[in-house]
Structure 1
Amino acid sequence: MAHGARAVADSSPGTQVALHLAEGGDNGGTVWWFDNARSRGVPFDVIALSFYGYWHGTLDDLRYNVNSVANRYGKDLIVAETAYPFTLADSDGHANIIGSQSQLVSGFPASSQGQANWIRAVSDVLAGASNSRGRGLFYWEPAWIATRGNGWDPADPSSGNAWENQALFDDNGRALPAVRWG
């Protein structure tokens, strides 16, 4: 990992190196991982966390972790991956990764407004980060709609994907409100 970070610096001196870790709501795991990276001399500029509220804890867990690591490491933070369903309906015959009411985050329905509210809530956590260290978020996978040939298997045009109900566009390619959340 250290060699990769140094190769980035050598080939593109102005590029910042981000280390990306899942489990954005797990402070103990995040501190353990970044302490180990630091102790091994891995250079990094940005802490990147994945945060899916249906897997990685609560927004309060994310908030605690973001503030803790911002203070501990003095680095900027991003949420490198987040997503939320605008529906629970399956549009391509391939089971959705989040497809039942029991998987949803309390207070965030599987609706276009629920999705927009989710992005706003995660963004608000980052906007409130200690020492103004929150830089923003990236959405996984905004354009992965239920379209033939847009599935998991590039060799099989009939393959589906498990994320189409979390795209930022509906099944007809029209932008959902979450695209304009800000």
Structure 2
Amino acid sequence: MKALRLLLLWLCVACSSSDDANTTGNSNTFYKGMDLSFQSELEDYNVDYKDADGNSVELLDFVRSKGTNLVRLKLWHTPQDGENGLEDVKAYAQRIKSRNMDFLLNFHYSDYWADPGTQTPPVAWQNMSFTQVRAAIYSYTKDVVTQLKAQNTLPEIIQIGNETDSGFLWDFGRVWGSFNNNWGNYAELVSEAIRAVREVDTQNRVKIMLHHSSVENAIFFFNELESFNLDFDMIGLSYYPQFQIRDLDLVASKLNELANTFEKDILMVEVAYPFTLQWNDNQTNYIGSLDQTLIEFSPTPEGQKAYFEWLVETIKNIPENRGIGFCYWAPDWVAFDGNEVTSTQGTSWENQCLFDFDLKALPTFDVFEDN
């Protein structure tokens, strides 16, 4: 009997260890992620992604084979363009989980793009009082997470708002300009969203992320939130060099300061870099000139790879193993032939993808494989 009890105990520990190994924040987990939110649209046009040798590949299988272990999806409440709604997210989440990859859900709490300059509430919430919006964010968040849990696709990470430097759900949770004394309302709305997640996630497996768009300014933001004791687990950051500090030593210093000050894990949840300054359609690109890049890394396939080698090293050097990985934003948003509207608008991102203009995989995939 004693031997049997010891065997059962060993099995329990082994199962527990196996579960923990897939849990966010484990010291053995380094996230090499991608935001693939455009796939719900791009798959309609049969975009022919290829490996480095020119062989056609299924995108999700290919990026997984190269080391991608996290996929981020954005969620819009009632999408203006019909994409990135809950049904899209639920369907793609099943595919992520079927490949044993982790899932990061990005609540925008908007019907369209949310960022520091635009945090428009869903149309359905715009005529509500603050009390009603507080109830709405709780019930909406809880419903989404409940539906994901019911189909066994509970995210490993949930992001409460997108690039919320200025708050979200303006003006209810706005903390910018004349609303700089509104931090209490912002914190209250965030708390309601977190409460909804915690109530569904009864095993406490989901990690909560708050997302700031700026490495250098995030310390101010999280300092403002300290007194509210928000129940979150990690700091998500964007780093696009054309918009932020370009002193690489200062970038590393700011990341280390964030980790030491707030004792939270840090995920570089939006990063990208160009492999060329050329374009492959009629749409002006976000990066089109040399002065938007870093002098240390040329806008070439080799320079893009070298940039990510530096980034990974910088993240891994964050104190106390607080740097847990990165997530490449829209590596798949290539120029393609679609419907009249899509083709006319094109993509402003094709020179920052991880596939070249022939849709062949770029050398930066080596960084995913090697780390």
Q: Deviations over 1:95-119 (max 9, x none)?
A: 1110011211111111001101111
Q: What is the TM-score of this pair, normalised by structure 1?
A: 0.90
1:179 aligns with 2:368: no
1:60 is displaced (CA, Å) by 1.9
1:155 is displaced (CA, Å) by 7.8
Structure showing greater Rg: 2
Cross-structure match for 1:134: 323
Structure having the larger proportion of residues in helix: 2
1:23 aligns with 2:214: yes
Q: Check the 8 A contact 2:241/2:292 in 1, yes or no.
A: no
Q: Distance in 2 between matches of 1:37 and 1:155?
A: 45
Stretches of structure 1 that go unaligned for 5 or more consecutive residues are: none
Pairing partner for 1:157 from 324, 333, 342: 342
Q: Distance in 2 between matches of 1:85 and 1:130?
A: 29
Identity of aligned pairs, percent?
33
Q: Distance in 1 between matches of 2:274 and 2:210?
A: 26
Query: For 1:1-182, what aligned pairs fall within 5 Å after superposition?
Result: 1-12=190-201, 13-24=204-215, 26=216, 29-58=217-246, 59-149=248-338, 156-158=341-343, 159-181=345-367, 182=370
SS, match of residue 328 in structure 2:
coil
Stretches of structure 2 that go unaligned for 5 or more consecutive residues are: 1-189
Q: Distance in 1 between matches of 2:225 and 2:340?
A: 37
Q: Distance in 1 between matches of 2:327 and 2:347?
A: 19
Q: Deviations over 1:98-154 (max 9, x none)?
A: 0011211111111001101111111111100011110010011111111123xxxx8
- Aligned length, in residue pairs: 175
Q: Distance in 1 between matches of 2:284 and 2:329?
A: 17
Q: What is the TM-score of this pair, normalised by structure 2?
A: 0.46
| RMSD (CA atoms) | 1.5
Q: Distance in 2 between matches of 1:55 and 1:138?
A: 18
